[in-house]
Structure 1
Amino acid sequence: MFTFTLGRKTDFSYKTNQLIALLSLLVVAIGWMLTGKVSSGIYIGVGVFLTWALSREIDPKHEYSAFLAAAFSFLNLLYYDNVQLLVIVWMLLLMRIVNGITGKELTVFDIFSVLGLTIYLSLNGGNSVYLVIFILAIAFIIKAREKMRAALIASGIGLAFFIVESFFMSYLSFNTINYLDPINIFAIATLSLSFVLFWFLSKAETEDDKGNRLNRFKLLASQIVYSSAVLLLFLFGDTSLNNLIIYLSAIVGVTIYFIGFNILNREK
């Protein structure tokens, strides 16, 4: 009943896992030197690792696309203010309750653990948009007919918190966005086009952590949840520039690798 299945083991006997660990440590050292603070270096380095982890969820078929994404997140070395690590971890867990990539059966504890973290983030950040994203993820779980009773109860609780927070605590407001700002234009364009990319990415046959074929609907659903989450956090949340770089790096890295991979395969 209290089994948590959303964790994924990082086996350091694999060269790719060794490489991302070394890269993250290198960025920690560089970040420390540039900012003068050990804590800032650690946040930037962990951000690189989490960019890699997000990309592995988005594109589990191609492991090297995650390294390209991680490389783009090095941009955080040029400017560091704040990396909201817990939000990124929450997004990883949110995708995993949908895509089933661990190869283990989703448990009631998984669903309510993510619900608990969602409620915490919404209350701590004073923003009910986290609950909207959680309800979207649960809708896909219900569509896949997994843990129906638990999913319905969790969505009901999430909806109740959303109503209270949004209408009685004023925890939902639209951000004032400068649509002429190049960064904002790039963010919105990238997120909008990502839905098209994910349609093609999800067609590739891939396996979960147990070696079983990953369900295409679940993979596509988790990819949609990711881009929807980033877009909603951008429009309604308090997303730092460093987090936005991480989110977009995951998409851009996967996109460039996907295009390059297909071009090279056609030429063979």
Structure 2
Amino acid sequence: MGMERFTHLGRPVDLAYPTNAAIAILSVATMIVVSLWHLIYLASEFILALIQGGQIGGVVFLTWALGREVDPDANVVAFLAIVPALVLSVLVGVPDFSLLFLALLLFRVVNRSIGLPAKRSDSLLVLVLASWLAWSGAWYGLVCSTVAFLLDSILVNPLPRHRWFGSGCCGDVESTALL
């Protein structure tokens, strides 16, 4: 019994799988290359260069993880999605990790790629994260959470309590709209 004791949405990255090892190496290599680029060519301070490298390395990993959730059986697609994500991160800016993480959790709530439905604590974590994002100005995270919870309450093997979590998201959307 591992992580399932605490969460049904979490998934360890087992480096024994070649694709998991590849994404770990690619994420760390990206972090190192971007950090060195910022240090050498942009003359950034050391800490700032590490932060920039870490952000881009995180984009690589989270893009891959989201790609795996969209189509768990197509390993290559998850790797192909990294290229446009990197280009957009350079041209537009690094996306908000908390929104990417929320998207990852919502995919796992709805498609149950772990194989188990979300625990109450998982659902509460998603609701709290979405509410915090809405309070921070990203109200659309609550809208997406509402849709995900309501879908999970009516699709195959429905989880009826997610109607309540979906309703909680709706209430939060209304309250944050007043801010």
- TM-score norm. by structure 2 comes to 0.83
Is 1:29 aligned to residue 66 of structure 2?
A: no
Paired position in structure 2 for 1:107: 119
Deviation at 1:52, TM superposition (A): 0.6
Is 1:156 aligned to residue 149 of structure 2?
A: no
Q: Percent identity?
A: 27
Name the CA distance, whole Å, in 2 between partners of 1:116 and 1:156.
13
Deviation at 1:76, TM superposition (A): 5.2
Paired position in structure 2 for 1:212: none
Paired position in structure 1 for 2:75: 63
Deviation at 1:102, TM superposition (A): 0.2
Name the CA distance, whole Å, in 2 between partners of 1:77 and 1:116.
27
Misfit runs of 4+, over 3 Å: 76-83
Any gaps of 5 or more consecutive residues in structure 2?
A: 40-48
Deviation at 1:6, TM superposition (A): 0.1
Distance change (3 Å), C-alpha of 1:77 and 1:85: closer
Deviation at 1:95, TM superposition (A): 0.7
Any gaps of 5 or more consecutive residues in structure 1?
A: 170-268
Instruction: Give the secondary-structure state (helix, strand or coil) at the position aligned to 1:64.
Output: helix
Once the two structures are superposed, residues 40-90 of structure 1 have per-residue CA deviations (whole angstroms, 9 ceiling, x without a partner) of 011001110111111001111111211111233332574474331111111
Once the two structures are superposed, residues 29-48 of structure 1 have per-residue CA deviations (whole angstroms, 9 ceiling, x without a partner) of 11112223111011001110
Is 1:133 aligned to residue 136 of structure 2?
A: no
Name the CA distance, whole Å, in 2 between partners of 1:133 and 1:24.
27
Name the CA distance, whole Å, in 2 between partners of 1:24 and 1:80.
20
Distance change (3 Å), C-alpha of 1:33 and 1:3: closer
Task: Give yes or no for contact 1:108–1:147 (8 Å, CA) kept in 2.
Answer: no
Deviation at 1:147, TM superposition (A): 2.6
Name the CA distance, whole Å, in 1 between partners of 2:81 and 2:94.
19
Name the CA distance, whole Å, in 2 between partners of 1:54 and 1:16.
14
The correspondence of residues 32-181 of structure 1 with structure 2, limited to 5 A, is 32-36=35-39, 37-75=49-87, 78-79=90-91, 81-123=93-135, 125-144=136-155, 146-148=158-160, 150-166=161-177, 168-169=178-179
Give the length in aligned residue pairs.
165
- TM-score norm. by structure 1 comes to 0.57
Distance change (3 Å), C-alpha of 1:163 and 1:39: same
Task: Give yes or no for contact 2:109–2:117 (8 Å, CA) kept in 1.
Answer: no
Task: Give yes or no for contact 2:102–2:141 (8 Å, CA) kept in 1.
Answer: no
Task: Give yes or no for contact 2:59–2:94 (8 Å, CA) kept in 1.
Answer: no
Distance change (3 Å), C-alpha of 1:10 and 1:127: closer
Paired position in structure 2 for 1:228: none
Instruction: Give the secondary-structure state (helix, strand or coil) at the position aligned to 2:69.
Output: helix
Instruction: Give the secondary-structure state (helix, strand or coil) at the position aligned to 1:143.
Output: coil
Task: Give yes or no for contact 1:24–1:45 (8 Å, CA) kept in 2.
Answer: yes
Name the CA distance, whole Å, in 2 between partners of 1:43 and 1:154.
31
